[in-house]
Copies of this chain bind each other. A is one copy, B any other.
């Protein structure tokens, strides 16, 4: 699955894995309908507890990234339930504000921040083809 875990950092393991799987879905490296490794298999591969993987998959399911089917496994969905547009606007706005505050704090200009967003977008979409 090409997931890298930093076991010593302060970010919880489950957040790290959830983030990387979301990225793989958005970038197209994991496609709708595709099957993820089983809980036990991924736990072995990442050397973490199966219960932790279970929690990761459950969280992804709640965010609409995957669907869990008993006896079959975890499958990538074709997108999350649509939230009201103003809810999405608020959520993304909060993330944008955090990005701006940290960027400006470190003496970047709005243009430089915009460039970084574009560069990261290219990296993500590069995997879609």
Interface residues of A (CB under 8 A from B): 8-10, 12-13, 19, 22-23, 25-26, 32-33, 61-62, 65, 67-70, 75, 77-84, 86-89, 91-93, 95-108, 110, 113-114, 116-121, 123-124
Contact = CB atoms under 8 A, between A and B. Distances in A.
Contacts of A106: 79-80, 82-83, 88, 91-92
Number of copies of chain A assembled together: 4
Contacts of A19: 98, 101
Contacts of A89: 116
A86 B81 CA distance: 10
Interface class of chain A by DSSP: helix
A25 B104 CA distance: 10
A102 to B, nearest CB: 6
Contacts of A61: 10
Nearest to A6: B67
A61 B62 CA distance: 12
15 contacts: A8-B67, A10-B67, A12-B69, A12-B70, A22-B101, A25-B105, A26-B100, A26-B105, A93-B119, A93-B120, A95-B95, A95-B98, A96-B116, A99-B117, A114-B114
Contact of A10 (B68, B117, B124): B68
